[in-house]
Structures are given as structure tokens and as C-alpha cells.
Chain A
Amino acid sequence: MAQLEAAELTAGYGGSTILNGVSLSVTPGRITGVIGPNGAGKSTLLKAIMGYILPRNGLVRLDGDDITRLPTHERIRRGIAYIAQTRSHFPSQSVQENLRMGAYLVRSRSLRAQRQSEVFQRFPILAERRRQPAALLSGGQLRVLEIGRALMTSPRLIILDEPSIGLSSGLVDTVYGHLRELAASGTTLLIVEQNVRKLLSVADFVYALENGGNRFGGTPQALSARGVLAGLYLGAGAI
């Protein structure tokens, strides 16, 4: 059974419609990718899945339960973690305080301490900088902090909006190395990405969006074989 499912989602901001009946299914323990040109509706899809915006139509299901109208914080409580495209952290707070914030729903002090030491073990750079304000971290370190913060609730599913944005290619490799390790340890990942090549190298399944609708869904190999990419990014004439 799909862990997370979006069915025929229609959503937008104010009067405009950005998503027009998008469906997607995320298999537990796998990396699912979403690609598509600017304006295809990738971020909007994630915001609708997270409850930041309410879809006008369609359903979001988590483990078979309808969560379409559930407030965002309740979705976090149910085991989803979300890392937004930009500023998914608190710049004025220290690394440690950001992690504390990530563990907001973890009531047990000992469990918080345990999770924090796990995060520090996984990402030693965060331990080194634990007392520094997040604002002083580099782009790559920030992304690592945001992943560490997301791990504080021990989520079953992590949703990431463009984890490669603003990073040099070396740092992108590092961040994706971490993501691959997470997936290997059984965490489900749903990743929206502009960096198509990188995403295709890690994803088990990939969806392509175009103009707010589904364009393709299948393995990265099938995507390449069918030449979807050229059509998607270069216009229909290039096929």
C-alpha cells in the first residue's frame, strides 16, 4: 500500500489555479522524485500535501487515512517531516535551539537528548557549531541542519522541496549522500527537485509535472527511455 497518496489534487493561491488534478503515490522506504519546469506546480503540490494550502479538490491520504483537511502540525504529529525550499529554520536561534524546535512534539527530555546525540553523530558539523546562530552557517551546513532538525521527530516520511537549491555541485553530492543514507535506513523520501540529473540518480520512482498536471510517472530508466525530459524542458518541438 502507498504510504502517502495524492489523488486528483487541484489547488492554487487566491483565484489562480496552479495544480490541476495531480495524482501521486509514495511507496514506503523508497525515494520518490518530482520534477518539472518552473511553474509546473511542484512546490504547490508539496504545500497542499503538507496542509499549508487547502486543495479545492482531491484527496491526500497518509497510510490510507484521509488527511486532506488536517492542519499542518497534525501531519507532523503523524510522522511526516517537511523541509521547505528556503528558510526552513530559525536564523536567530542557535543550532541546538533549532534542533530543540525540531523536537517540539517530543515531550520526553531523555528522548530529545537521545535524538540530538544521534543527529550530532550523523552530522558532526552540527555538534561543532551547536552554539552558533543558524544565520552564521553556510548554505550546505544549513541544509544539513534542516535535515537534522527534521530527524528530531524520527519521521517515517521526509518531504523535501529542492534540497539542492543554492548549493555548489560538491555540496549537492554531500547532501544527497546523506539523503541516500536515510533512505537506506528505511525512511521514505519525497523530493521535489530542479536538479533533475541528481534526482534521477537516486530516485526509485519519478513523476514529471507540466502545467499543473501529471506528465509522466515511472522509473528513471523509463523516463530516459521515453525521452520525456527533452519535451518537458525544451518544449514539445524537441521530442
Chain B
Amino acid sequence: MIIDLVIFIVLGVMTGGLYALLGLSLTLIFGVMRVINVAHGEMLTLGAYTAVMLGAVGLGGVLVPVAAAILVVTFVGLIIARVLIRPLTVEGRVHEQRGMVMTLGLSLFLSNAVLATFGPDYQRVPGLMARGAIEIGDLVIEGQRLIILMGSLVLAAALMLFLRFTRLGLAIRAVGENPEAAQANGVSVRRIHLITFALGSALAGAAGALITPVTYAFPAMGFSYTLYAFITIIIGGLGSVWGAVLAGFLLGIAESVSVIWLTTGYNAMVGPALMLLMLVLRPQGLLGQRIARA
């Protein structure tokens, strides 16, 4: 029993890293731009298909697909921010409802564009990145899952350091906390919005490239990741970077451990249930602030 628990916790940490990365990137976009980005999962889809295409021409490994996904999705993110989000921005703030409705439309458009381009089939990178497994007693950790965890942690840490210690990171945090004051200090809110959206999207794209070797890529894959990203940041507290990391791991572990008690298949309801519970008991989330932005 205890052994089972430990095994499932370790497996939960593996998926938790991915949830943390998705939540972190989504909360960055929400915290700074106040855009409820329903198309976040589609950024992951684009990253996944980037990896699939590279796999098809024999370019596997970890670094190349991840770097390529980051490049591709950064570019797409910049275009979206410039062409679709900027027109919804008035006096340094994105119109919240219009922003959400726009990304909803964008999500449908992108998943259908992927469908039209690559067809409905499930695709995968043919085991190129999978490298053996670590076995400790009953605990089997596939190499690729470890790579997903490590990759997620490295990217999340890089983002944190960037936000904490660079001039650009300082400006991004400033726009998130008080856009008018940031402008009064000489920060271009337009530029920061472009960079933030591209950065957040790129991290989701990287996640897509990391997971394709263990999962299938298909046109509608993004939606469930959008859902999990939202569950993560609602549990963690909207706009809270550390909350997203904490909630990501908690969610991964809870989902994994629930398998001990729940029939397989029902563990998909653990995340939504936790989110509802959080909304009732502590609506601001684990590390969220009660105070709304001015």
C-alpha cells in the first residue's frame, strides 16, 4: 500500500511537471495581459506537430524538436499578439471579454487548420526520443517521462530566473502589476504584450514537443491541455507564478494517486473536481491574491 502510494506519487510528479509548465505559461499571459487564452492548448498542438514533422525527416532527440517548437510557436505567438490582440487593446489594457472570445475563435481556427493540413490521423514521433527506463522494484519510469519532467523544470526555472533578474523580466512584472505605472516609468506596454504572449505561447509549444514521443499528436489534442492549464492556474491562484508550479505538481500527484481508489478512466475527473472544490473553499486559489488589480 505504502509502496503503491510512493510509486503513484512519483508518477504524478512526472505529469505534474508538464501541468506546472502549462499553468506557468498560461498564468504569465493572464497575469500580464489579462487575456484568458483559450487557445493556449493549440500552441502546444503546434509544438507537437513541429516535433512530428521533424521526426518524419529523421530529426529526433530532445533539443532540436524543443528548440524548433519554441521558434515556430514564438513566431506564431508574435503574429497573434500583433494582429489579433493589439486591436483589442485600449489604453494599455486588453478588453477582457473580447480577448477571451477572440482566443476561443482562434482555438477553433487553429485546430481546424491543423486538421486541414495534417489530416485527422493520430501521429507520433516514432520512439526516437524514448530511451529505456529506470526500474526501482515495481516502479518503472520511462526515460522519456523523465525527459518531460526535466525539460519542464528547466524551462520553468529559466522563465522564473528571466522574470526575476533581467530588465525585460522586471518590465513584464511591472506591466502585470500596474500597467499605467509601468508606462509612467518608460515601459512600452505594447512591446511587453507582444513579448509576453510570444514567450508564454513558446513554452506551451515546447511542452508539445516534449510530450509527442509518449503521446499521439492529433488536431484536437490542445483542448484538454487548455483545460488542464486552466485547472492548474485556478487551483494555484490566477496570475500567481509559484501557485501554478505548486498546483501543477499537486494536480499531477492527485490524479495519479487517485488511481488507487478510482476505477481507471475516472481519474480524469479528479482535476475538474479539485478545481470546483477550490473555487468553493478558496476562490483566490492556493497562492492567489484576494485583491483585484486597480
Contact = CB atoms under 8 A, between A and B. Distances in A.
B63 interface: no
Contact of A84 (B92, B180, B187, B189): B180
Interface residues of A, number: 27
B121 interface: no
Nearest to A105: B186
A197 interface: no
A86 B294 contact: yes
Given A52-B91, A52-B92, A86-B294, A76 B186 contact: yes
Given A52-B92, A52-B183, A149-B185, A101 B174 contact: yes
Contacts of A83: 184
Contacts of A50: 184
A90 B186 contact: no
Interface in B82-102: 91-92
B154 interface: no
A199 interface: no
A84 B167 CA distance: 23
Given A87-B178, A90-B177, A92-B177, A104 B185 contact: yes
Interface string B155-198: 00000000000010011001001101111111111100000000
Summarize A's interface: helix, strand, loop or mixed: loop
A100 B174 CA distance: 11
Contact of A90 (B167, B181, B189): B181
Interface string A26-39: 00000000000000
Nearest to B190: A71
A153 B184 CA distance: 11
Q: How big is chain B's contact interface, by range?
A: 20 to 34
A88 interface: yes
B178 A76 contact: no
A77 B186 contact: yes
Contact of A104 (B167, B178, B190): B167
A91 B294 CA distance: 11
Most chain-A CB neighbours within 10 Å: which of B170, B171, B183, B189?
B183
Interface string A67-99: 000011100110001111011111111000000
A90 B178 contact: yes
Given A52-B92, A90-B174, A93-B177, A104 B186 contact: yes
Interface of B: 91-92, 167, 170-171, 174, 177-178, 180-190, 294
Given A82-B184, A88-B184, A153-B186, 13 more contacts: A52-B91, A52-B92, A72-B184, A83-B184, A86-B294, A87-B180, A88-B180, A91-B177, A101-B185, A104-B186, A105-B185, A105-B186, A149-B185
8 contacts: A50-B184, A52-B183, A76-B185, A87-B181, A88-B180, A104-B185, A104-B187, A105-B185
Interface of A: 50, 52-53, 71-73, 76-77, 81-84, 86-93, 100-102, 104-105, 149, 153
